Amino acid sequence: MKAQNRTPISIIIIIIMVKLMVVVIAAPTESTENIYTVPLQTNRHFRKNATHAVFKVRSKYTFFLDPLKTADSPLSKGSVEMTDENDVEYYGTVKVGTPGQALKLNFDTGSSDLWFASSFCLFCGSHTKYNPLASSTYSAAMTPWSVQYGDGSTAGGVTAKDSVDIGGILIRQQTIQLATHESFSFRQGVTDGLLGLGFSSLASVRGTLTPADNMIRHNLIKDPIFSVYLGKQKLGGGGVFMFGNSNPAHFSGSLTPVAVDSSKGFWSVKVASLSTAGDKTVPSKTDNALYGSFEAIVDTGTTLLILQKKTSPTNSGFDSLVFSLGGSLFQIPGDDLVYVREGAHCIAGFATGDFPFSILGDVFIRNNYVVFDMKVPQIQLAPVRH
């Protein structure tokens, strides 16, 4: 999305009206402390498109736009390293079946479905397709499922059960959703499917437990948490999703607990205030308060920072945005508020949405380490250390 610039050097902040889902994929590697990591990788062929990013956001939360409306050891810890695609998509590798079939999945805290392309799908692009006939642990369930998004994107198929290996944590008889059809936008994507890390109540197949909930139910992880570190492309990219543990090497200072409202299935938190700061260091008191308390969803599946219109900045005369959460301040520096630079033109890394909440997407998470506690529930935040 571009805008004509009246002055050739000035920065144009374009307020976008949609949301982008971020993709996460990983290939597990074993560390020296029996902690397994799944690396995130970047899609270097991906071209940033702000309009597409907004439609992805709207598609994911379209409901709210309607005004009417088994690791063998119980102490195993799974770490999945992410691939960073130009700070736009992150993906991690998950193995499904026996022997394991490696799939690149979007690790998404804004949804709760585990679905991916299958060999039953005739039109699923060049994706790697899970073949149930090649797995000795596959069992058919054949419950139909479908998802439809506000931009017209669709996917659907049937359910099954099989073993799922996430960073060395083996979940047996996990419900999976096999795509037999998907629309063009999904076929063009880098990832083979999606791993939902929202609450199980949000799952499209009623009664399904997410892989994260099954890790807890079967005592596969030490603590009922997972933590997220997303790298920046200019600093080497990558990232890590860690299940059952957190890594102090990826954050500075202490973690701040923030209560979560999980009643709608999302990781929803209360932001006490949003302010701008006039320098690149988080001040003890923010310089310019934009808005008071509002609800926000912490969503690894959204690239941008999506703000309600009433909270969104309307000019570029600041160096950072500062969020007050849990009594502490968390910053997004000005450099990370620019999504695309094209000559003298810039497109903002934040957008407005007509949702009854804001969305703290990857622009926020790249700057703030997040621990998701599924039992309390709560999140814990600290400034990221790259």
What local confidence, expressed as pLDDT, does residue 113 receive? 94
| Ranges 48-62, 292-306, 362-376, most confident | 362-376
Query: β-pairing, 273-277 with 320-325?
Result: antiparallel
The percent of residues above 70 in pLDDT, for the chain, comes to: 70
What local confidence, expressed as pLDDT, does residue 347 receive? 60
Inform me whether the pLDDT recorded for 257 exceeds 90. yes
Higher pLDDT, 53 or 55: 53
Give the chain's domains with CATH numbers: 29-243 (2.40.70.10), 248-383 (2.40.70.10)
CA distance 217 to 375: 11
What is the mean pLDDT of the segment spanning 65-69? Answer: 43
Q: How confident is the model at residue 71 (pLDDT cuts 50, 70, 90)?
A: very low
CA distance 300 to 233: 16
Q: By the 8 A CB rule, do 71 and 169 touch? A: yes
User: What count of Cα atoms within 13 Å lies in the side-chain half-sphere of residue 69?
Assistant: 9
CA distance 108 to 82: 12
Alpha helices in 99-227 (DSSP H): 184-187, 211-217
Q: Which residues is 220 bridged to in the sheet?
A: none
What local confidence, expressed as pLDDT, does residue 149 receive? 55
CA distance 233 to 256: 26
What is the mean pLDDT of the segment spanning 146-166? Answer: 85
Q: By the 8 A CB rule, do 274 and 311 touch? A: yes
Higher pLDDT, 147 or 379: 379
Inform me whether the pLDDT recorded for 264 exceeds 50. yes
Question: 280: closest CA among 319, 318, 315, 336?
Answer: 319
What local confidence, expressed as pLDDT, does residue 289 receive? 62
How confident is the prediction for the chain on average, in pLDDT? 80
Question: 337: closest CA among 347, 329, 345?
Answer: 347
Inform me whether the pLDDT recorded for 161 exceeds 80. yes
- Which range is least confidently modeled, 45-49, 141-145, 273-277, 380-384? 45-49
What local confidence, expressed as pLDDT, does residue 59 receive? 55
Question: 228: closest CA among 364, 56, 74?
Answer: 364
Tokens describing residue 66: 């309607």
- Which range is least confidently modeled, 35-44, 82-91, 189-198? 35-44
The burial class, CB within 10 Å (0-12 / 13-18 / 19+), for 54 is buried
Inform me whether the pLDDT recorded for 138 exceeds 50. yes
Q: By the 8 A CB rule, do 321 and 288 touch? A: no
The percent of residues above 90 in pLDDT, for the chain, comes to: 55
Higher pLDDT, 51 or 129: 129
For 91-105, what is each residue's pLDDT tens digit? 999 999 999 999 999
- Which range is least confidently modeled, 234-243, 256-265, 335-344? 335-344
C-alpha to C-alpha distances, 315 to 13, 276, 343, nearest whole angstrom? 7, 11, 19
Higher pLDDT, 11 or 379: 379
- Which range is least confidently modeled, 45-49, 85-89, 167-171, 279-283? 279-283
Q: What does the radius of gyration of the chain's CA atoms come to, in whole angstroms?
A: 20
Higher pLDDT, 286 or 167: 167
What local confidence, expressed as pLDDT, does residue 348 receive? 62
Inform me whether the pLDDT recorded for 306 exceeds 80. yes
This prediction's pTM: 0.79
For 314-354, what is each residue's pLDDT tens digit? 555 568 899 999 999 999 998 888 765 555 555 666 777 77
What is the mean pLDDT of the segment spanning 59-63? Answer: 60
Inform me whether the pLDDT recorded for 107 exceeds 90. yes
What local confidence, expressed as pLDDT, does residue 308 receive? 83
Mind telling me the catalytic residues?
108, 299
What local confidence, expressed as pLDDT, does residue 93 receive? 97
What local confidence, expressed as pLDDT, does residue 326 receive? 98
Q: By the 8 A CB rule, do 26 and 83 touch? A: yes
Tokens describing residue 17: 């009206």
Inform me whether the pLDDT recorded for 88 exceeds 50. yes
| CA angle (259, 354, 208) in 5-degree steps | 55
Q: Which residues is 296 bridged to in the sheet?
A: 269, 358
What local confidence, expressed as pLDDT, does residue 282 receive? 45
